[in-house]
Structure 1
Amino acid sequence: MSRSGAGHRATLREVAALAGVSTSTASLVFSGKGPVAPATARRVREAADHLAFTGPDPLASSLRQGRVGTVAVVVESPLRFAFRDPFALAVLDGLAEELEAAGRSMLLVAQPAEHPGRAVDQLATLALDAAVLPLCGVRDNPVVDHLAARRVPLVGSGSPLDPRVVHVRTDEEGAIGLTTRHVIGLGHTRLAHVTMALSPGASTAPVAPGGPERADYPDAEGRLRGFRKLAGERAPVVEAADLTVGAGEQAGRLLLDVPSGRRPTAVVCQADLLAAGVLRAAAALHLRVPEDVSVTGFDGVDLPWLDHTLTTVLQPGVAKGAAMGALVRRALAGEPVADEAFPVRLRVGSTTGPAPAG
């Protein structure tokens, strides 16, 4: 049993006292950053062995230096949902790579929509350099007040809508306009839209014309607004319960399983996974793509199992995550940071074609 006792973590000061040297000398032995006589270094190491001292507390050392090396990444859903979304994974990959290059680790913090305060409780116990909210999130998030009060730099990708959060922003209205204008240019006049969830706890169901007045998820609201500006308020819209192929297929059936005279000839979707679901629904209803119905997505993720090349908005997830990581690095270096626009572009694939005759 060491002198420090089973329940006590020995300190560098205790090691120095036992070795008969100053604390600064003992620190130099462990850091290797200064000249120490071999006999003195040996005494310090023998004292450390006797006290079962394994080295300076890394957290305390980091706090003295004004950093802890950890960046919280708040995922506003159960983590399993993010891990099923290829776009979310790409964003996290890019963010992790950029933070790793800065010598910082990424700590994922789940924030289920039904219990947002749990994330605040978890973050309150953590020492952090910064926090990132990298995915489609809610308009108002309680973690912002908590972290801003601690002067923790905050970076997001468009939400929460709070001036204390610096964003890498996609112009959601303009981006959805790329696919909407594309199908209009192909002669389509009967357009429909599949939106991501507009509020927590959504079910897959039609959205009333003109509604909702305000959505909890700004990204989905912006894309819906952009679609309606071009397609009109009366164009049918279905809200998907979640960001999955299954929800997209259910939404697609609601739109396409109707008499041919009322069936849309083009479906503009807010995500590639939703578009993949609409393609499944079309196949199940024996509709040809793009001869009978054109379908577009958003994000440009790799879907190798899809029989088509999706016409979509290319929003490279890795690059977007890296851009957020770069903002974190600059903020922690004391540089001024401000919102940055994230460019997107249209990719025309095999899922869109001229409007069918008649």
Structure 2
Amino acid sequence: MSGVGLVIVGSLVVVVLAPSGVESIRLEYPVDAGQDNGDGCPSMGPAAPHVRPGPTARGTRPRTRPAASPIPPPEDHMPTGAPAAEQAQRCTLADVAARAGVSSSTASLAFSGSGPVSDATKERVLAAASELGYAGPDPRARSLRRGRSGIVGVVVEERVRSAFLDPVKLQMLDGLSDAIAPLGAGVLLLTETGRGANAVSIEDAPLDAVVLVGCSPRLGESLEVLRRRGIPAVAIEGDPGDDIVEIGIDNREATRAGAEYLRSLGHTDVALVTLPFDAARTRGPLTPDLEHVSTADTASERLRGARDVFPGIGGRVAGGSSIEEGLEAARALLRDPAGRPTAIIAQSDLLAAGVIRAAEELGIRVPEELSVIGFDGIRPDGLQADLTTLVQPSVAKGRAAGEAVVRMLAGERPASVRFTSELHVGDTTAPPRA
């Protein structure tokens, strides 16, 4: 399976797909000695960089993009070994310092925002930089000086495109990116299944720290790689072990509360649609064998919460958290009128939306003939009903993970954090039909 990475640094976004799709994207700059344009810096020339894509996958066509504006290569403090012609084309921090009438060290402090530099001096340096077209010190050189890559990895267990379709993961990423903003770091999105010579992987990506997002059956495998590499890690959900910071929620207690609510309405014939239990994402009936080999702590804990109230509860295991997976699982549960449950507990809101869609297909009225409970507290696309669900603080979880990363990179040992969920009673649950 291909590895997918997304780097976000300020307004720059670079997507790397490997080994299928675009293998590499390389920005090339024309080598032009340039002429002094009168402002103290050599001219960059009119030519714009072009993108050279790698081979495309079968059955796909390369995308065309509008012509790009000239993009200057990284600023001064260029790592040793950069082509001389490339270095000669640029304004340097020394040029800015000379224009502002300060030392290079003072100009550097003005850009970094640290150190005893007056506001007037900072304004003078920034004005000189603007006149010369100088954007700031090269972030690559800054990384070399600090001994860091300037990248925080975020591992999602599914394909990256699936993560962007899941509002829960997007909310966690919002909180995470806000919290790590003081680091000035970029974010690299990785799938845990990256493989192949060209794949972007936690095996070899240059990372300062890693946050593992989601309810992954592969959590243990990913953590072993990070332990071996000595990279600080934070796990959102799961049971990572005592040496890894965990940002979790009360999965068992929350699901128990939802199940107790169904029982209070009079339901006794209740079924589950669960998240995956194993790394293969096996779909089908919820069997003792599958429960026994489970490597997915979140799915297992939510199952235990339901069993605390309905000891014999069964159901179907989905291959992931999506409306389509919930639809497929619910079709199997609801196909036989004689064996239909009166209520279904779905382990995510996306799965619950799929359950409701399956009920609509089969002419089953929700909640009159079928009650549905989800987990997350989002509003899935296309769902008109107010879903009864367990609401979790997704943004706060992401923010807590980011704060833990900041503290770890400062040499501290942050504690794990456990949030609680709340039952939201919507209009998808009602007493069973007599």
Sort the TM-score into its range (normalised by shorter chain). Answer: 0.7 to 0.9
Take 1:318 and 1:254, find their aligned partners in 2: how far apart are those partners?
34
Within 5 Å, give how 1:206-355 maps onto structure 2: 206-209=285-288, 211-233=290-312, 235-260=313-338, 262-303=339-380, 305-355=382-432
Q: Equivalent residue for 1:59?
A: 140
Distance 1:116 1:138 in 2: 21
Tell me, in whole angstroms, the C-alpha distance in 2 between the residues paired with 1:175 and 1:118.
42
Aligned-partner Cα distance in 2 for 1:323–1:15: 37
Aligned to 2:165: 84
Q: Check whether the contact 2:277–2:294 (CA below 8 A) recurs between aligned residues.
A: yes
Partner of 1:335, secondary structure, is coil
Q: Deviations over 1:314-340 (max 9, x none)?
A: 012212111211222222333331211
* CA distance in structure 1 between the aligned counterparts of 2:297 and 2:197, rounded to whole angstroms: 20
- Contact residue 139 and residue 160 of structure 1 kept, 8 A: no
Kindly report which structure 2 residues correspond to 1:177-216, keeping only aligned pairs within 5 A, or say none: 177-209=256-288, 211-216=290-295
Q: For 1:84, what is the secondary structure of its paired residue?
A: coil
Shift of 1:313: 0.4
Matches within 5 A, 1:164-183: 164-183=243-262
Distance verdict in 2 for CA 1:74–1:324, change over 3 Å: same
The count of corresponding residues between Structure 1 and Structure 2 is 335
Q: Does 1 or 2 have the higher relative contact order (CA < 8 Å, sep 6+)? A: 1
1:140 is displaced (CA, Å) by: 4.3
Consecutive unaligned residues of structure 2, counting only runs of 5 or more, are 1-32, 35-81, 95-102, 118-127
Deviation, structure 1 residue 58: 2.9
| 1:115–1:79 Cα change, 3 Å | same
Q: Percent identity, aligned pairs only?
A: 37
After superposition, the Cα gap between the structure-2 partners of 1:119 and 1:107, relative to the gap in structure 1 and judged at 3 Å, is farther
In structure 2, how many angstroms separate the alpha carbons of the residues matched to 1:99 and 1:323? 10
Q: For residue 267 of structure 1, give the secondary structure of its aligned residue in structure 2.
A: strand
Deviation at 1:162, TM superposition (A): 3.1
TM-score normalized by the length of structure 1:
0.80
Amino acid at match of 1:58: P
Secondary structure of the 2:187 match is strand
| Matches of 2:154 and 2:200, distance apart in 1 | 13
**Cα 1:143–1:116 shift into 2, 3 Å:** farther
Opposite residue 194 of structure 1, the aligned amino acid is V
CA 1:268–1:146: 2 relative to 1, 3 Å:
closer
Question: Which among 174, 177, 184 is matched to residue 96 of structure 1?
Answer: 177
When structure 1 is superposed on structure 2, of 348-357 and 200-209 the one drifting more is 200-209
1:109 maps to a residue whose letter is L
CA RMSD of aligned residues (A): 3.6
What secondary structure does 2:376 align onto? coil
> Residue 147 in 1 paired to residue 226 in 2?
yes
Give the secondary structure class of the aligned counterpart of 2:278.
Answer: coil
Q: CA deviation at 1:61?
A: 2.8
For structure 1, the 5+ residue unaligned runs are 17-24, 36-44
